[in-house]
Amino acid sequence: MIRLRRILRPVHRWTGLSVGLVIVLMALTGAALVLRKQLELPLDRDLLSAPACASRLPLDTLTANAQKAYPSGKLDYIRLIAAEADDARTPTAMVRFTDQMFVYLDPCTGAVLGLRNRYRGAFGVLEQLHRFRFMPNGNLVVGTSAIVFALVLVGGGLVLWWPGTWRGARRALALRAPRAGGAARHIGLHKSVGPYAALIVLISALTGLPQSFDWYRNGVYTLTGSAPPAHAPASLAHAPDAARLPMEAIWQKVQALVPQPREALLHYPSRADDAVDIYTIDRDAPHPNARSLIALDAYTGDTLKFTPYAASSAGHKLYFWTLSIHTGLVGGWIGQALLLFGALCVPLLAWTGLRSWLRRAERDPARLPRQVRVVRKATEAANVCTFELADPDGTALPAFAAGAHIDVQARDGLVRQYSLCNDPRETHRYLIGVLRTADSRGGSRALHDEVGEGDLLRIGEPRNHFPLAHAAEHSLLLAAGIGITPILCMAERLANTGAEFRLHYWARSRTHAAFVERIERAAFADRAQFHFSEGPAEQRGDLESLLAHPAAGTHLYVCGPTRFMDAALAAAQRAGWREENVHREYFSADLRHAADDAEFVVKLASSGKSYTVGKNTSALDVLAAHGIVLPRSCEQGVCGSCLTGVLDGSPDHRDRVLSAEERARNDRFTPCCSRAKSPLLVLDL
Ligand code: FES
């Protein structure tokens, strides 16, 4: 079963993405056509009905008027529908020509009420779209799509949905309120609605197939042991100069066989020895397509064949039942409502399936959405390179705010985050600074050694876990090493807005400090202070004294290596800074393990599947081992790539991304490093 599902899942997904559009068009037009019975007459009242009268004109007069209105047409048939006893209006008589042109006539006066092609008018167009009659071999497209839909999307979808036991199936079928958001809402809705809609849409697809394929229609007869439909027998031998009976005389003969039918359709013989081929539908027929078949000699009116519906073959009955079921003419308003529900579920299923796939694709680190070119690579300081990135076509890049970072695919499968350090008002470029570290896990080394000017890189949209608090009265910006990148951007933004701030920048030496000249040339140079650890003691800076006087309106921003971060944040805590006034961004962190780390269970909200996370492994790795691949980058809880929604349970937050307030909400966690305080976490996946 697991192997089958592994094969079925991509087949189901890619079939939906490819054939889905045809299916959705068929479903939407089908949904509208289900209401044809109620809506068509009011919409086309003057064409489809006329004032009632005691007696209609002879069929031959009506036919002659139709032919006069459409002289180039070759007669195909005339259809009569009986009026209801107390109706003030009567259905019009309809003469069809072989090129699908219909002429509508007032049966009482013979007046031509209008001409219309079968595929014109609101419902004609809908039918044309539904049956793909706007293209050659449209019936094959429709029929093939319906088969693929039934087998792969409905059948395969049910296999993928099947929870394994009847008890599980009952639980899965229980209707629940939609979740607040995220991927689980889409896939959850897909899986909740799918089984309910499956039976209806399957019936709808299978009952529509006889319209597309003769082999399927013949199969219906073969399956029931019935003879396939035969052509009407020929008229009996007649003298060469004999004249056919008028159609009105034929009608009288029909009446003798089927008195007062609800509907009758009489074909005009196309060849000299053809019989008149007729079908009628009784007033008490079990469904609106329960056809009795009649063939009359065109010259004598003798009955050549008469098969009342009740006496017809099982194949004939099954075929016409499928026609009525497919068009919503069975089961009254309940049948129509079910069919409408099934048809409308199809676009919903297509949408929820597509959204969950897109969401997954968005989260796939290998699919960063934007391609940029490295237009400039420069050495900024010892071991620090800047990369200026621009759209290859010169298109403006998405706006960002100070403190934002982007994902950069350094090479296949290697995604790292880098803060943007150019002016946020610029849209023609992004500037990132990359420190080549001795303990590089591959990202900075790949960018330094393998990427040059002119190369193309894939990047993500800007994200910001380190935004400025714009209501601050004063800002204190502390950066160390490559931590200057977001802090420099913040300083420039604050300077541009005329805000109060001070910048302190620690580095080993001037040659190890990035952006020194830019800072010294900046309008805020007098508010920036360098601290070089290899320089004189008096300029090295003292965190304790710098942070000694917190004020309610002052916000602190800290970014740099872990040791610096820990020291600055500890000093701030000792000095009594309010947590909400302290903002931080880590570039790396040590994974924090506790001696009493215990295993816990993560459960996926969408599938209900549970996985145990052992003491020495991460939830991210456990999920990946079961094919649920989440974005990952730092795997240290500092980049936020793997942030995942939590719907139930209590996470043990060990990341450096979430603020205290965000942690308290317990609605997200970083599965790369965080664990659980409760035995179970239900994830929004
Ligand atoms: S991978 Fe970076 S926070 Fe989890």
540-585 pLDDT, tens per residue? 989 999 999 999 999 999 999 988 999 999 999 999 999 889 999 8
237-257 pLDDT, tens per residue? 777 778 889 999 999 999 999
With helix as H, strand as E and coil as C, how does 239-302 read?
A: CCCCCCCCHHHHHHHHHHHCCCCCEEEEECCCCCCECEEEEEECCCCCCCCCEEEEEECCCCCC
Bridge partners, 386 (sequence order): 378, 433
Q: Which residues are CB-contacts of 244 (< 8 A; sequence separation ≥ 6)?
A: 269, 298, 299
Q: State whether the Cα torsion 320-325-331-336 is positive or negative.
A: negative
Distances (CA, A) of 180 to 189, 190, 574, 606, 666: 12, 15, 39, 13, 15
- What's the CA-to-centroid distance between 97 and ligand 1, angstroms? 70
Structure tokens of 139? 């019936």
DSSP structure class, residue 572: H
Count of other CB atoms within 10 angstroms of residue 223: 11
In angstroms, the CA 372 to CA 370 distance is: 6
- Asked if the model's pLDDT at residue 180 lies above 60, the reply is no
Contact between 175 and 192 (Cβ < 8 Å):
yes
Among residues 6, 102, 129, 5, the alpha carbon closest in space to that of 48 is found at: 102
Q: What percent of the chain has pLDDT over 90?
A: 53
The arithmetic mean of pLDDT across residues 589-617, rounded, is: 83
Q: Helix or strand or coil: residue 407? A: strand
In angstroms, the CA 140 to CA 142 distance is: 5
Bridge partners, 500 (sequence order): 474
pLDDT at position 359? 63
Query: Across all residues in the chain, what is the average pLDDT?
Result: 88
- What's the CA-to-centroid distance between 434 and ligand 1, angstroms? 19
In angstroms, the CA 431 to CA 387 distance is: 6
On the 0-12 / 13-18 / 19+ scale of CB atoms within 10 A, 133 is middle
376-407 pLDDT, tens per residue? 999 999 899 999 999 999 899 999 999 999 98
Contact between 249 and 301 (Cβ < 8 Å):
yes
Q: Quick one: pLDDT band at residue 179, thresholds 50, 70, 90?
A: very low
pLDDT at position 65? 96
On the 0-12 / 13-18 / 19+ scale of CB atoms within 10 A, 533 is middle
Domains and CATH numbers, the chain: 2-210 (no CATH), 365-459 (2.40.30.10), 474-586 (3.40.50.80), 600-683 (3.10.20.30)
- What's the CA-to-centroid distance between 239 and ligand 1, angstroms? 94
- The ligand 1 atom at the shortest distance from the C-alpha of residue 632 is 1
Chain-centre distance of CA 447, in angstroms? 36
Ligand 1 pocket, mutate which of 463, 633, 658, 675 (most atoms under 8 A from CB): 633
- Asked if the model's pLDDT at residue 356 lies above 80, the reply is no
In angstroms, the CA 135 to CA 466 distance is: 55
Q: State whether the Cα torsion 90-96-100-106 is positive or negative.
A: negative
- Asked if the model's pLDDT at residue 481 lies above 50, the reply is yes
- The ligand 1 atom at the shortest distance from the C-alpha of residue 631 is 1
Q: Which residues are CB-contacts of 376 (< 8 A; sequence separation ≥ 6)?
A: 386, 387, 388, 453
In angstroms, the CA 151 to CA 223 distance is: 20
- The ligand 1 atom at the shortest distance from the C-alpha of residue 673 is 4
Residues having CB closer than 6 A to ligand 1 are: 632-635, 637-642, 655, 657, 670, 672
Instruction: Using alpha carbons only, give the angle 373, 374, 375 rounded to the nearest 5 degrees.
Output: 100
- What's the CA-to-centroid distance between 364 and ligand 1, angstroms? 14
In angstroms, the CA 67 to CA 112 distance is: 10
Nearest-10 crossing angle of helices 2-34, 138-148: 130
- What's the CA-to-centroid distance between 532 and ligand 1, angstroms? 31
DSSP 438-496: TT--SHHHHHHHH--TT-EEEE---B-SS---TT-SEEEEEEEGGGHHHHHHHHHHHHH
- What's the CA-to-centroid distance between 632 and ligand 1, angstroms? 5
Structure tokens of 452? 């040059």
- The ligand 1 atom at the shortest distance from the C-alpha of residue 670 is 4
Q: State whether the Cα torsion 103-108-113-119 is positive or negative.
A: negative
**Closest CA to ligand 1's atom 3:** 637
Q: What percent of the chain has pLDDT over 70?
A: 93
291-316 pLDDT, tens per residue? 999 999 999 999 999 999 999 999 99
Tell the residue number behind the tokens 């004109």, with chain if given. 57
Which H/E stretch holds residue 10? helix 2-34
224-242 pLDDT, tens per residue? 998 887 776 776 777 777 8
Tell me which long-range contacts 146-151 makes (C-beta under 8 A, separation of at least 24).
146/26, 146/205, 146/206, 146/208, 146/209, 146/212, 147/205, 147/209, 148/15, 148/19, 149/19, 149/23, 149/201, 149/205, 150/202, 150/205, 150/206
- The ligand 1 atom at the shortest distance from the C-alpha of residue 637 is 3
On the 0-12 / 13-18 / 19+ scale of CB atoms within 10 A, 39 is middle
Which H/E stretch holds residue 195? helix 183-208
- Asked if the model's pLDDT at residue 81 lies above 90, the reply is yes
DSSP structure class, residue 391: -
Q: Helix or strand or coil: residue 392? A: coil
pLDDT at position 270? 86
pLDDT at position 428? 94
- What's the CA-to-centroid distance between 641 and ligand 1, angstroms? 5
In angstroms, the CA 669 to CA 652 distance is: 8
Ligand 1 pocket, mutate which of 363, 407, 635 (most atoms under 8 A from CB): 635
Contact between 622 and 599 (Cβ < 8 Å):
no
- Asked if the model's pLDDT at residue 338 lies above 70, the reply is yes
